[in-house]
Amino acid sequence: MKHKQIVLACCLGGAGLLACSAAQAACTVGKQLTVTVNGASGLPIVVKQNARPGDLLKEYSHVVGTEGGWANCVGPDRITRRMNGTLVPSGIPDVYTTTLAGVGVKVEYQSSTGGARRAYPYSIDYSTPGSYTLRDEGTYYVSYYRIAGDFAGGSIGSGAPFQAAQAALDSAASRPINFLEAVDVQFNLATCDITSGSINQTVDLGQAAPHSFTGGGTPWRDFKLVSENCDLTQFHNVTFSFNGNAEPTDPTLFAVTGPGGGVGVQLQTAAGTDIDPGGDATMPTLAAGGEYAFRARFRRLAGDLVNGPVSTDVIVKAEYD
């Protein structure tokens, strides 16, 4: 009967219920640790204009030893590692938005006892019976990624810390064991472009009279694409791709349209390398004002020339790396 009375008191009596709950699980945080990523002492993180969502921009690591957060526990408990509640998933696995548009953050933890790195958020149970001390020892990884959205440069946590994530015991959630924050992590946008005057230009190839063809083609006409705002420390090569309709009877030439006919358009680099429709040419990047040189001419096709104007549209794209 005495045993039954104790059980009933635990289930129904307020004091008994509190005693039973305390015996099941409780953790008191003994020390909190703030892990800070401080980018002020290093160079800004450079983000290229052609960086794609999912590209890794920078990874920081921080080893937490015996000075890390710890707690005194009685009974089993669980550590929950979670992202800052103001962050939302970016659409890239395990990467969350930050306060800087176009830049996301991923937080990972690896225990000092080994095992794989695990990305936040996740939970892990500690089922140790009796009293024990739990220490959060291991390595934290804070990685920044390019995510969807416009990016123009800026900083995360400038002037005030940006809390990215935390680790907390479920029974002591109001007092996390560890915080992860960032201070003054700077990002710069690296660009390389072609001047607006180069983007839309007309190359006049002159008259294609029968007597103007020498060696199968008319005289070459030069044209240039001019570099603008190019960060040569980040971009080393540029690949120009040339897309247009190929001449059916000679796919190395660009087809023409118009009342005239009997010709196709041939493209080359200034050095004399042929560029077929759909082909490309790679060159070293040039500082602002530098000129990427090309040339074009008419080539004679089989059959007669047809009087009248002709033209061809060539779409040029530049890809920097």
- Taking residues 261-273, report their average pLDDT: 96
- Taking residues 40-60, report their average pLDDT: 90
Cα distance between residue 178 and residue 155, in whole Å: 23
The pLDDT tens digits of the residues spanning 128-144 come to: 778 888 888 999 999 99
Residue 251, CA atoms < 13 Å, CB-side half-sphere: 2
- Give the pLDDT confidence score for residue 25 in this predicted structure: 55
> Between 101 and 26, whose confidence is greater?
101
> Between 1 and 155, whose confidence is greater?
155
Cα distance between residue 51 and residue 1, in whole Å: 74
Cβ neighbourhood burial of 317 (10 Å; 0-12, 13-18, 19+): exposed
Residue with tokens 């225990």: 111
Element (H, E) at 165: strand 162-169
Span of 5-9, 94-98, 288-292, 313-317 with lowest mean pLDDT: 5-9
Would the pLDDT of 3 be above 50? Answer: no
- Give the pLDDT confidence score for residue 134 in this predicted structure: 85
Cα distance between residue 209 and residue 305, in whole Å: 8
Entry pTM = 0.77
CA distances from 265 to 4, 199, 206, 214 (A): 100, 19, 12, 15
Would the pLDDT of 13 be above 50? Answer: no
Cα distance between residue 49 and residue 181, in whole Å: 27
Span of 199-203, 233-237, 275-279 with lowest mean pLDDT: 199-203
Q: Provide the 3-class DSSP secondary structure of residue 211.
A: helix
- Give the pLDDT confidence score for residue 68 in this predicted structure: 86
| Contact in structure between 133 and 144 (CB atoms under 8 Å) | no
> Between 174 and 251, whose confidence is greater?
251
- Taking residues 156-172, report their average pLDDT: 90
Per-residue DSSP letter, 220: P
Cα distance between residue 7 and residue 19, in whole Å: 12
Joined tokens for residue 282 = 């790679």
How distant is the alpha carbon of residue 164 from its chain centre? 18
Average pLDDT, the chain: 88
Backbone torsion region of residue 304, taken as left when φ is above 0, otherwise alpha when ψ lies between -120 and 50, otherwise beta:
beta
Cα distance between residue 147 and residue 184, in whole Å: 19
Element (H, E) at 199: helix 196-199
The pLDDT tens digits of the residues spanning 286-313 come to: 999 999 999 999 999 998 899 999 999 9
Angle at which helices 14-24 and 2-12 pack, to 10 degrees?
Answer: 90
Q: What is the dihedral of CA 300, 301, 306, 307, to 10 degrees?
A: -20
Closest CA to 48 of 117, 98, 102: 102
Element (H, E) at 20: helix 14-24
- Taking residues 216-223, report their average pLDDT: 94
| Contact in structure between 105 and 157 (CB atoms under 8 Å) | no
- Taking residues 56-64, report their average pLDDT: 93
Span of 40-44, 106-110, 286-290 with lowest mean pLDDT: 40-44
Element (H, E) at 8: helix 2-12
Cα distance between residue 149 and residue 100, in whole Å: 10
